């Protein structure tokens, strides 16, 4: 009940698009009843979870924070959310996000941006909660829910976690089913938990992950007992420091944070090794070709016929109201500016004349980046890097400059392109007292190694 009241009082954060107190209370009551009956409790019995609005939830409006899905009420439940309910959790509500998960600040939401609960001392200027899972980061950081789901295509779990001082893990591609999760870039999209600490992330991820025949890229593997396997000792482990992540102009405090992380790893018994990921600087451009290309294909389904919004051209525009006009009016009104930008970039890089020069080339780069990681992991068990090149920036400070915004993803996209598990853990505060995150990247399927290295930091 306390969480339901908290959410109701937290309107200024704009983290929740829909509140579903009955869902959360039903789970809490089921947990109470099980406890009273002396039954063994489910792993998440009664825990109220916030769901990013990218997950379809049966009977509960789901919009991906876009006008184009206004009025869409799924008739089915996403596999990840169903897994959480099967583990005893309940849903407090649907969380705000960047529209279709495209963004790093939450400012592309059609329903107003989420505000971080953090402030610089002596300042009221609202800060970005990160994105795209900014409703999730903000809600967990403000204590509105103990855990939330996020999705990560190029950093959308890790960067918002870093900006708000919480933990979040993107598992290996294929660990969490994508079925019923609204698609952005299907070869990159992965769901994962965002929570207050590493242990909570392990518990939630165990519930969320698992093979699902309804997702053709789902991994046919048992879910490891990650929580059980948690160990703070890194004795015998080698932690790799990728040289190429020391980008020019990196703020001193990010350098200092990274050094502190290295020291914590040593204290936990790890050996530190320098490694090279030579194609790192091509990751961001490759990502911003591949992700929009897949998005332009995935978003073709929003045509005013199948889901959500349908608009007709204004009478005074003189246009007829044929099928083409209906498509055009619906998309013009329904998609936000960033989504339109991605669709246009994606359509361009996939077009007959440019496909080889952009899309094929980006796929080749992607293969080289994956190979960089494979080679680096011969010399180490996990990699340690900063999560983002800065602490949370002020809302509005980058929204007019897409390139500045995209640069925020510089440390998170390479592991996404390679499909590897990666986590952000709070590492400390900057000179203004704002949280900074450290990122741990692991070998494919080694979420355990990532979580354990995370424990050494927190
Ligand atoms: N910020 C990145 C983008 O805008 C990543 C988003 C994500 O991971 N969903 O594409």
152 lines ligand 1 (CB under 6 A): yes
Work out the pLDDT band at 300, boundaries 50, 70, 90: very high
Active site residue 66: no
CA of 95 to the centre of ligand 1 (A): 16
What residues does each domain of the chain span? 2-208
CATH superfamily entry for domain 2-208? Amidase signature (AS) domain (3.90.1300.10)
Active site residue 132: yes
> pLDDT tens across 390-448, in order?
999 999 999 999 999 999 999 999 999 999 999 999 999 999 999 999 999 999 999 99
136 lines ligand 1 (CB under 6 A): no
153 lines ligand 1 (CB under 6 A): yes
The answer to whether the beta carbons of residues 148 and 130 sit under 8 Å apart is no
Residues in CB range of 307: below 8 A, 6 or more apart: 68, 69, 72, 301
CA distance 425 to 98: 22
pLDDT for residue 314? 74
The answer to whether the beta carbons of residues 181 and 53 sit under 8 Å apart is no
The answer to whether the beta carbons of residues 163 and 116 sit under 8 Å apart is yes
pLDDT for residue 6? 84
Atom of ligand 1 nearest to the CA of 155: 8
CA of 155 to the centre of ligand 1 (A): 6
What are the tokens at 302? 């929003």
Atom of ligand 1 nearest to the CA of 338: 4
Instruction: Indicate if the pLDDT at residue 128 is higher than 80.
Output: yes
338 lines ligand 1 (CB under 6 A): no
Whether complex ipTM tops 0.95: yes
Work out the pLDDT band at 316, boundaries 50, 70, 90: low
Residues in CB range of 71: below 8 A, 6 or more apart: 61, 308, 309
CA distance 28 to 100: 31
CA distance 247 to 261: 17
Task: Report CA-CA distances (Å) from 325 to 71, 306, 333, 344.
Answer: 21, 16, 12, 18
The answer to whether the beta carbons of residues 377 and 449 sit under 8 Å apart is no
Nearest-5° Cα angle at 345, 305 to 336? 50
CA of 129 to the centre of ligand 1 (A): 14
CA of 132 to the centre of ligand 1 (A): 6
Q: How much of the chain, in percent, has pLDDT values that exceed 90?
A: 90
Region of poorest pLDDT, from 85-94, 129-138, 371-380, 399-408: 399-408
pLDDT for residue 248? 79
CA distance 300 to 290: 16
Radius of gyration, alpha carbons of the chain: 21
Active site residue 52: yes
pLDDT for residue 379? 98
What are the tokens at 164? 């708000």
364: Cα within 13 Å, side-chain hemisphere: 7
Burial (0-12, 13-18, 19+ Cβ within 10 Å), 289: buried
Q: Whose CA is nearest to atom 10 of ligand 1?
A: 102
53 lines ligand 1 (CB under 6 A): no
155 lines ligand 1 (CB under 6 A): yes
CA of 14 to the centre of ligand 1 (A): 20
Nearest-5° Cα angle at 241, 236 to 242? 140
Q: Whose CA is nearest to atom 5 of ligand 1?
A: 154
Is beta strand 271-275 parallel, antiparallel or unpaired with respect to 238-242?
Answer: parallel
Query: Where do the H-state alpha helices sit in 268-377?
Result: 283-298, 323-334, 337-349, 355, 361-376
> pLDDT tens across 248-284, in order?
788 899 999 999 999 999 999 999 999 999 999 999 9
Residues in CB range of 310: below 8 A, 6 or more apart: 304, 326, 330
> pLDDT tens across 34-69, in order?
999 999 999 999 999 999 999 999 999 999 999 999
**Set 66, 78, 79, 132: catalytic member:** 132
């Amino acid at each position: 009940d306390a969480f339901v009241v908290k959410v109701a009082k937290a309107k200024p954060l704009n983290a929740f698009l829909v509140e579903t107190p009955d869902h959360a209370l039903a789970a809490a009551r089921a947990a109470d009843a099980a406890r009273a009956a002396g039954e063994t409790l489910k792993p998440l019995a009664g825990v109220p979870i916030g769901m990013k609005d990218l997950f379809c939830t049966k009977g509960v409006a789901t919009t991906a924070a876009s006008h184009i899905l206004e009025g869409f009420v799924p008739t089915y439940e996403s596999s990840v959310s169903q897994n959480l309910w099967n583990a005893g959790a309940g849903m407090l509500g649907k969380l705000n996000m960047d529209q279709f998960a495209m963004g790093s600040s939450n400012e592309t939401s059609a329903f107003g941006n989420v505000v971080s609960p953090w402030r610089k001392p002596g300042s009221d200027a609202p800060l970005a909660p990160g994105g795209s899972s900014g409703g999730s980061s903000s809600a967990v950081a403000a204590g509105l829910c103990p855990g939330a789901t996020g999705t990560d295509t190029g950093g959308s779990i890790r960067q918002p976690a870093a900006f708000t001082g919480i933990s979040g893990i993107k598992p290996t591609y294929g660990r969490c089913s994508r079925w019923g999760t609204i698609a952005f870039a299907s070869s990159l999209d992965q769901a994962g938990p965002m929570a207050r600490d590493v242990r909570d992330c392990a518990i939630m991820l165990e519930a969320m992950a698992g093979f699902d025949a309804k997702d053709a890229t789902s991994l046919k593997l048992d879910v490891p007992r990650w929580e059980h396997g948690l160990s703070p000792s890194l004795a015998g482990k080698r932690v790799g420091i990728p040289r190429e992540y020391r980008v020019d102009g990196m703020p001193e405090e990010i350098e200092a944070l990274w050094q502190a992380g290295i020291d914590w790893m040593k204290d936990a018994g790890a050996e530190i090794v320098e490694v090279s990921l030579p194609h790192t600087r091509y990751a961001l451009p490759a990502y911003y070709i591949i992700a929009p290309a897949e998005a332009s294909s995935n978003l073709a389904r929003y045509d005013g016929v199948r889901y959500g919004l349908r608009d007709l051209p204004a009478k005074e525009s003189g246009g007829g109201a044929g099928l083409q006009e209906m498509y055009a009016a619906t998309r013009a009104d329904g998609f936000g500016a960033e989504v339109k930008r991605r669709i246009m970039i994606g359509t361009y890089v996939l077009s007959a004349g440019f496909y080889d020069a952009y899309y094929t080339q980006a796929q080749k780069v992607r293969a080289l980046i994956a190979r960089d990681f494979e080679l680096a992991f011969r010399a180490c068990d996990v990699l340690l890097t900063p999560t983002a090149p800065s602490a949370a920036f002020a809302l509005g400070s980058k929204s007019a400059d897409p390139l500045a915004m995209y640069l925020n993803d510089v440390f998170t996209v390479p592991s996404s392109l390679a499909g590897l598990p990666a986590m952000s853990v709070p590492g400390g505060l900057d000179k203004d007292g704002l949280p900074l995150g450290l990122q741990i990247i692991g070998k494919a399927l080694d979420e355990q190694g990532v979580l354990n290295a995370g424990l050494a930091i927190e």
